[in-house]
A and B are shown apart, each in its own frame.
Chain A
Amino acid sequence: MIRALHRWPGLLAFALVTVLALSGAALSIFPAIERVAAPRAEAGLTVATLAGRVHAAYPGVEQIRRSPSGRTTAYWFDQGMPGAAAIDPATGKGVTSADPNKVERWLTNLHRSLFLGDGGRIVMAAGAAAMLVLSVSGAALIARRAGGWQRWFSPLRGPLAGRLHAEIARVAVIGLVLSSTTALWLAASTFDLLPDGEAKPAFPAQVSGATEIAPDKIAALRHLPVAELRALSFPNPGDVSDVFTLKTDRGTGYLDQGTGDLLVWADPTGWQRASETVYMLHTGQGAAVLGLVLGVMALAVPAMGGTGFVVWHAGRRGRPRLRGNQPMARAETILLVGSEGGSTWGFAATLHAALSGAGQRVHTAPMTAFAPGRYECAKRIIVLAATYGDGAAPASAKGFLDRLNTAENAPDAAMAVLGFGDRGFPAYCAFAKAVAAAAEEKGWSELMPLGTVNRQSPQDFARWGRALGQALGIDLELAHQPVLPVAETLTLVSRRDYGAEVQAPTAILRFALPRPTFGQWLTGAGFTRFGAGDLLGILPEGSPVPRFYSLASAHRDGFIEIVVKKHPGGLCSGQLTALEPGQTVSAFPRRNPGFRPGRGHAPLILIGAGTGIGPLAGFVRGNARRRPVHLFFGMRHPDSDFLYGEEMSTWQEEGRLARLVTAVSRGVRPNYVQDALRSEREEIVRLVRAGARVMVCGGRGMAAGVSDALAEILAPAGLDPAALKAEGRYVEDVF
Chain B
Amino acid sequence: MKSLLATLALTTALTLPGIGMARPVTLTTTLNAYGGDGAYLALYVTDASGTYVGSLWMAGGKSKYYEHLNDWYRATGGDTSHINGITGASVGAGRTLEITLDLADALFDAGYTLHIDAAVEDMRDSPNEVAVPLTSEGAGQPVKGRRYVASFTYDM
Contact = CB atoms under 8 A, between A and B. Distances in A.
Interface in B67-100: 67, 70-71, 73-74, 77-78, 89
Nearest to B126: A82
Contacts of B37: 105, 109
B146 A82 contact: yes
Given A105-B37, A200-B67, A84 B124 contact: yes
B62 interface: yes
Given A192-B63, A202-B77, A233-B70, A100 B124 contact: no
B78 A200 contact: yes
Contacts of B67: 198, 200
A435 B67 CA distance: 69
A652 interface: no
Contact of A100 (B36, B73, B89, B147): B36
B62 A203 contact: no
Given A98-B123, A100-B35, 13 more contacts: A82-B147, A99-B35, A100-B36, A100-B121, A117-B89, A189-B64, A192-B62, A192-B64, A198-B67, A202-B77, A233-B70, A236-B127, A236-B128
B20 interface: no
Given A77-B146, A105-B37, A200-B78, A82 B124 contact: yes
A245 B68 CA distance: 12
A62 B63 CA distance: 23
B47 interface: no
B26 to A, nearest CB: 25
A260 B139 CA distance: 42
Given A77-B146, A84-B124, A118 B61 contact: yes
Interface in A27-77: 62-63, 75, 77
Contacts of A200: 67, 73, 78
Interface string B36-78: 1100000000000000000000000111100100110110011
A77 to B, nearest CB: 7
Nearest to B122: A100
B105 interface: no
A75 B124 contact: yes
A269 interface: no
B144 to A, nearest CB: 10
6 contacts: A75-B124, A100-B123, A105-B36, A118-B61, A197-B63, A200-B67
B147 A102 contact: no
Interface string B109-130: 0000000000001111111100
B62 A190 contact: yes
Nearest to A197: B64
Interface in A567-624: none
Contacts of B61: 118
Contact of B124 (A63, A105, A203): A63
A-B complex: 8 closest residue pairs judged by Cβ atoms = A82-B147, A75-B124, A100-B122, A203-B74, A197-B64, A84-B124, A99-B35, A82-B146
A325 B40 CA distance: 56
Contacts of A100: 35-36, 121-123
Contacts of A75: 124-125
A590 B61 CA distance: 61
B65 to A, nearest CB: 10
Interface in A233-251: 233, 236, 245
A400 B98 CA distance: 70
Interface residues on A, range: 20 to 34
B76 to A, nearest CB: 10
Contacts of A197: 63-64
A286 B122 CA distance: 16
A197 B73 CA distance: 14
A197 B77 CA distance: 13
Nearest to B80: A192
Nearest to A80: B146
A75 B129 CA distance: 14
A102 B63 contact: no
A76 to B, nearest CB: 9
Contacts of B78: 200
Interface in B7-36: 35-36
Nearest to B35: A99
A383 to B, nearest CB: 59
A110 to B, nearest CB: 13
Contacts of B126: 82
Nearest to B146: A82
Nearest to A202: B77
Contacts of B64: 189-190, 192, 197-198
A206 to B, nearest CB: 15
B84 to A, nearest CB: 15
B33 to A, nearest CB: 12
Contacts of A117: 89
A11 B63 CA distance: 36
Interface string A95-128: 0001110100100010000000110000000000
A62 B128 contact: no
Contacts of B36: 99-100, 105
A493 B150 CA distance: 76
Nearest to A104: B122
A202 B64 CA distance: 16
A720 to B, nearest CB: 71
Contacts of B35: 99-100, 102
Nearest to B38: A117
B89 to A, nearest CB: 8
Nearest to B36: A100
Contacts of A109: 37
Contacts of A189: 64
Contacts of A105: 36-37, 122
Nearest to A67: B122
Interface in A189-245: 189-192, 197-198, 200, 202-203, 233, 236, 245
Interface string A235-278: 01000000001000000000000000000000000000000000
B147 A63 contact: no
Contacts of A62: 124
Nearest to B78: A200
B126 to A, nearest CB: 8
Contacts of A190: 62, 64
A144 B73 CA distance: 55
A198 B73 CA distance: 13
Contacts of A245: 70
Contacts of B146: 77, 80, 82
A202 B74 CA distance: 9
A27 to B, nearest CB: 13
A25 to B, nearest CB: 21
B130 to A, nearest CB: 13
B81 to A, nearest CB: 15
Q: Count chain A CB atoms within 10 A of each CB in B36, B63, B64 and give the residue with the most.
A: B64
Contacts of B74: 203
A102 B123 CA distance: 13
A189 B74 CA distance: 23
A284 to B, nearest CB: 16
Contacts of B62: 190-192
A693 B74 CA distance: 81
Nearest to A77: B146
Nearest to A75: B124
Nearest to A233: B70
Nearest to A203: B74
A463 to B, nearest CB: 73
A84 B64 CA distance: 24
A100 B63 CA distance: 23
Contacts of A80: 146
B77 to A, nearest CB: 7
A439 B32 CA distance: 78
Interface in A355-370: none
B128 A63 contact: no
B75 to A, nearest CB: 9
Contacts of A84: 123-124
Nearest to A189: B64
Nearest to B50: A239
